[in-house]
């Protein structure tokens, strides 16, 4: 009897505990299913530009003032971002990007690196004027020491314009910066629903919204329906895989660009060398050709210790080593397919490491 009673009690107790376990398991599952996925933490670093610009009327799309709206107002204008990311903002500068200088880049790069080293930051968006956006993107592409996404964004119409492109561009940039698909792809540029790589992208049109293109080599992908779609990747080394570190730098070496054209003479080159330039990028004609009046000026600059990079004003194609000039003899560097303005950035960073021209040529073929 006693045994039967004990057995019945034990069975009842087991049944009760089993039911309890079932209830608590299913309620845990329900909680798991109900809990939303963690939103990425994205910091917006605002630097000014047309995306923060204001005009007199909604039809003012030229003659407006860039860099007027603060980061809080930029974020408040796109409340939809709260559904895709935990967004925070910092006003790093408030400038039109034609005034972007080396000192701004160093400040920005240090802030990006500091933020991305924090485990609670998943990605960074930088709002920027479009005029020099491609240069800041390439600089960061070479000095950010993280694989987390960094996305530059701007707009071609000011915030007050009819059909302003800033809000949708900002939304897409935040989406991209919070996406695992964007990790390890280098610094990205997101405007007009398109994703471009920092090394190849350029502003190609002075006024239209579809201005950022990597003509010839192509964009990396699109942002459609709240999702990035990637089709290709930049193959040159970038971000965490570069040899450049600006965290302890207060300045960058002076590097200038000299532009070639019909009837060009040595005046600009001589003046730039006299101003103390440590490096000169020659934006030559064609395949980086050196006009007869320019070659002696560049050669004499090299003999004074100035590092010379031959690039091209054409905009596409490679400036081949020992092609239109004997780089070995002149001790010049061939600029590969970098635009003159991007060759300037790589030469500045190269000069923070070495003045050995063979090493600098290697860097031009690596980055
Ligand atoms: C600027 O680059 O700051 C002005 C032009 C623009 O953002 O489109």
pLDDT digits over 181-239, tens only?
A: 999 999 999 999 999 999 999 999 999 999 999 999 999 999 999 999 999 999 999 99
Q: Give the single-character DSSP code of 98.
A: G
Residue 160 CA to ligand 1 centre (angstroms) = 14
Would you say the CB of residue 130 lies under 6 angstroms from ligand 1? yes
Predicted confidence (pLDDT) at residue 35 exceeds the cutoff of 60: no
SS3 of residue 87 by DSSP: strand
Consecutive H or E run containing 244: none
pLDDT tier at 36 (50, 70, 90 boundaries)? Answer: low
Residue 95 CA to ligand 1 centre (angstroms) = 9
Which atom of ligand 1 has the smallest separation from the CA of 131? 2
pLDDT tier at 28 (50, 70, 90 boundaries)? Answer: very low
Task: Give the number of other CB atoms < 10 A from CB of residue 83.
Answer: 10
For residues 22-32, average pLDDT? 43
- Pocket test residue of 46, 48, 50 for ligand 1, highest count of atoms within 8 A of CB: 50
Q: Give the whole-number percent of the chain exceeding pLDDT 90.
A: 90
Task: Give the number of other CB atoms < 10 A from CB of residue 257.
Answer: 21
Would you say the CB of residue 134 lies under 6 angstroms from ligand 1? no
| Nearest CA-CA partner of 213 in 137, 141, 317, 134 | 134
Q: Which residue's C-alpha comes closest to atom 2 of ligand 1?
A: 129
Would you say the CB of residue 239 lies under 6 angstroms from ligand 1? no
* Pairwise CA distance, residues 53 & 64, whole Å: 7
By CB atoms closer than 10 A (0-12, 13-18, 19+), residue 263 is exposed
SS3 of residue 10 by DSSP: helix
* Pairwise CA distance, residues 47 & 135, whole Å: 14
pLDDT tier at 130 (50, 70, 90 boundaries)? Answer: very high
Q: Kindly report the CA angle at 251 between 307 and 143, in degrees rounded to 5?
A: 80
Average pLDDT, the chain: 92
Task: Give this prediction's pTM.
Answer: 0.90
Task: Give the number of other CB atoms < 10 A from CB of residue 228.
Answer: 22
pLDDT at 26: 44
> Is 136 considered catalytic here?
no
Of 34-48, 60-74, 259-273, 274-288, the poorest mean pLDDT is in 34-48
Sheet with 86-95, strands from edge to edge, namely 86-95, 41-48, 123-127, 150-153, 188-191, 194-197, 221-224, 227-230
| Nearest CA-CA partner of 130 in 82, 76, 66 | 66
Sheet with 333-334, strands from edge to edge, namely 255-259, 279-284, 307-312, 333-334
Would you say the CB of residue 49 lies under 6 angstroms from ligand 1? yes
Residue 35 CA to ligand 1 centre (angstroms) = 42
- Pocket test residue of 131, 170, 208 for ligand 1, highest count of atoms within 8 A of CB: 131
Q: Which of 50, 160, 239, 242 is catalytic?
A: 50
Contact present, 273 and 280 (Cβ < 8 Å): yes
- Pocket test residue of 47, 53, 159 for ligand 1, highest count of atoms within 8 A of CB: 53
* Pairwise CA distance, residues 290 & 323, whole Å: 11
Q: What is the pLDDT of residues 49-64, one digit of tens each?
A: 999 999 999 999 999 9
Which atom of ligand 1 has the smallest separation from the CA of 132? 2
Task: Read off the tokens for 282.
Answer: 């020659």
Task: Read off the tokens for 135.
Answer: 């240069």
Contact present, 157 and 166 (Cβ < 8 Å): yes
pLDDT tier at 37 (50, 70, 90 boundaries)? Answer: confident
Task: Give the number of other CB atoms < 10 A from CB of residue 120.
Answer: 8
Contact present, 351 and 222 (Cβ < 8 Å): no
Contact present, 124 and 176 (Cβ < 8 Å): no
Q: What is the pLDDT of residues 290-336, one digit of tens each?
A: 999 999 999 999 999 999 999 999 999 999 999 999 999 999 999 99
Would you say the CB of residue 200 lies under 6 angstroms from ligand 1? no
pLDDT at 8: 47
Task: Read off the tokens for 349.
Answer: 């960073």
pLDDT tier at 22 (50, 70, 90 boundaries)? Answer: very low
């Amino acid at each position: 009897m006693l045994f039967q009673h004990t057995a019945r009690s034990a069975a009842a107790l087991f049944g009760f505990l089993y039911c309890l376990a079932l209830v608590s398991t299913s309620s845990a599952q329900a909680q798991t299913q109900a809990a939303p996925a963690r939103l990425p933490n994205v910091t917006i670093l605002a630097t000014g530009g047309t995306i923060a610009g204001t005009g007199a009327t909604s039809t003012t799309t030229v003659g407006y003032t860039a860099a007027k709206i603060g980061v809080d107002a930029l974020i408040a204008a796109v409340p939809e971002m709260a559904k895709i990311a935990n967004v925070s903002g910092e006003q790093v500068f408030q400038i039109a990007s034609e005034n972007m200088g080396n000192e701004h880049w160093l400040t920005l790069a240090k802030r990006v690196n500091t933020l991305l080293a924090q485990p609670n930051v998943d990605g960074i968006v930088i709002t920027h004027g479009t005029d020099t956006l491609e240069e800041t993107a390439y600089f960061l592409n070479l000095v950010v020491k993280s694989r987390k996404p960094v996305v530059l964004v701007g707009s071609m119409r000011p915030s007050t314009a009819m059909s302003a492109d800033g809000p949708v561009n900002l939304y897409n940039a935040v989406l991209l910066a919070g996406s695992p698909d964007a990790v390890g792809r280098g610094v990205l540029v997101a405007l007009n629903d398109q994703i471009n790589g920092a090394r190849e992208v350029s502003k190609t049109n002075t006024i239209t919204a579809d201005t950022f293109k990597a003509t010839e080599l192509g964009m990396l992908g699109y942002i459609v329906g709240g999702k990035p779609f990637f089709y290709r990747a930049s193959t040159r080394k970038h971000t965490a895989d570069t040899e450049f570190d600006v965290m302890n730098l207060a300045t960058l070496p002076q590097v200038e660009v000299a532009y070639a054209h019909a009837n060009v003479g040595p005046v600009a080159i001589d003046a730039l060398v006299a101003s103390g330039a440590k490096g000169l990028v020659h934006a030559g004609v064609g395949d980086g050709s050196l006009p007869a009046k320019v070659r002696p000026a560049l050669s004499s600059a090299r003999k004074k210790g100035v590092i010379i990079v031959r690039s091209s004003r054409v905009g596409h194609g490679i400036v081949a080593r020992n092609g239109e000039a004997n780089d070995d003899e002149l001790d010049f560097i061939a600029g590969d397919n970098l635009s003159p303005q991007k060759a300037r950035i790589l030469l500045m960073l190269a000069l923070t490491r070495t003045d050995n021209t063979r090493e600098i040529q290697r860097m031009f073929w690596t980055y």
